[in-house]
Amino acid sequence: MVAPDRAISLGSRLGFIFASLLYKSALDITYYFYLSRFFRYHNLTAFDLHLDAGRFFLSYLLVFAMSAVVPRKENNFNGMFYAIVLIFLYVPLATMYGMDARSDVFPLALTAFAIVVTMLTAISFERVWRKFPLLERGRSIALLFSTLMVAYFILWSIISGAVTHINFDFRDIYIYREILGEKLDVGFLSYLNIWTQKAFNPLLIAYAMYKRNGILLAISLLVQMYFFAVTQHRAHLFVPILIYMAYIIYQRRLSTGKLLGAAAAGVVLITTIGLYFEMDEALAVVIRRALFVAPTVAYEWVAYFSEREKVHFADNILRGWINNEYTGKNLPLFMGDYMQFGSDLAFNSGLIGAGFAQLGIWGVIIYASLLGIVLSFLNALITKGLPVFMVAALLIAPIRTAWADSDLFTALLSHGIIVCVVLLWLFGPDRRQERINEMG
């Protein structure tokens, strides 16, 4: 007879596997009916269609295998961390592999390898952080400093004159973005601005939700809207949605399996409505841009650097120490120029493409290991009593960026992962949970 808790665990795992396969099916549907029809011959991110029964079946088998082994529990950050990489990178790559018989399996295998490396690293470092000290009254420091940084940004946007160029028309975003960037992002202030937008105000939004503080929530949401108006980055509008999603998952106890199931239903629904009403722009943003561009870019980076010399960090970190054809170059612009000469396109890749470009498989190992260390530290804080919701609320977007959209070191610094981790360390445990841990 199977023990009840073990039976529940098995049922949860089977539910997660089923939801992952359901999500894969949803992506296959949108690939077949939307991407292959409208972007089959796109000059940058082409989605060709060459079906092969054996390869199609194998793509499902690969998703099954990965969903059978990745951690998916909600009592730490593992569930959300691995759901992010499945939703935004691994499963889309599996769909591309299964729908186009001429595509290479190597980028998908490399992604699977990176996921396993993060898992092993996180397990290996789990004990290292157990005695890491927490700061007394750190929560007050985190909240006060975040509030001051938000106030600073608003004041600077007024002093710099950026406020006179705010825009709410989505059609003119790229026109105003350059103008506002020149006024706001001056020297080191550019880092402070990004951290305020991606770490400090999201902390206030998450804290307001966590404490159900309606006044603070309303103010911080208005600030987030102001961030969009004064920077023209649409990502700011999605941050509250992601934080609320984390709230539902961790405060209302929604499993990551149900999250994947909801994502599958959402993809099919959006594709169906978008195609019926010819909502081309909405489909391009929600389906193509959010789910398939990053995997396509990773595919192109891996293909390019599979046949050429690796960068060896000569582009940035070891510039001046190592000299090669990439020394001092901006790799996303370099790849953008390769894909479309003279376009001034930033062809940004996440952990897989950027890591492989630097040192091949060893680069992927290094990047995945560093991300695994970050994950282990966050789980250690959660073990000490830090609300897991706060971790998910601050890091859903930056972790997605690290996996899908940016070089890891850029994600750690510019996109605020390190700042978010420091804020969460300061935020510390709930006193009630801390007392429970001490008694246990």
DSSP string, 365-421: HHHHHHHHHHHHHHHHHHHTT--HHHHHHHHHHHHHHHHHTS-HHHHHHTTSHHHHH
Q: How many helices (H) and strands (E) does the chain have?
A: 22, 0
**For the chain, first and last CA: distance in Å?**
30
Query: From residue 8, how far is each of 2, 13, 183, 371, 415 by CA, in Å?
Result: 10, 9, 56, 30, 38
The SS3 assignment for 100 reads: strand
Cα atoms in the 13 Å half-sphere on the side-chain side of 363: 21
| Per-residue pLDDT, 266 | 96
| Per-residue pLDDT, 3 | 46
| Per-residue pLDDT, 12 | 87
| Per-residue pLDDT, 204 | 97
- Reference 404, options 299, 305, 320, 324; nearest CA is 299
Sequence-distant (≥ 6) Cβ neighbours of residue 183 within 8 angstroms = 160, 161, 162, 165
| Per-residue pLDDT, 435 | 47
Length of the chain: 440
Taking each helix axis as running N to C, give the angle between helix 91-99 and helix 106-124, from 0 to 180 degrees, rounded to the nearest 10.
160
Alpha helices (H) in 160-255, listed in sequence order: 173-184, 189-195, 201-211, 214-231, 235-251
Return averaged pLDDT per consecutive 10 residues of the chain, 440 residues in all.
Answer: 54 93 98 95 90 96 97 88 96 97 93 98 91 88 96 94 84 81 82 92 97 96 93 86 90 85 96 94 89 95 96 90 92 94 88 97 98 96 94 95 94 94 93 48
How many whole angstroms separate alpha carbon 128 and alpha carbon 81?
20
What's at 327, amino acid-wise? T
| Beta strands per DSSP E along 253-350 | none
Cα atoms in the 13 Å half-sphere on the side-chain side of 375: 27
| Per-residue pLDDT, 178 | 82
How many whole angstroms separate alpha carbon 112 and alpha carbon 62?
9
Q: Which residue has the tokens 């309303």?
A: 218
Cβ proximity of 191 and 412 under 8 Å: no
pTM score, whole prediction: 0.92
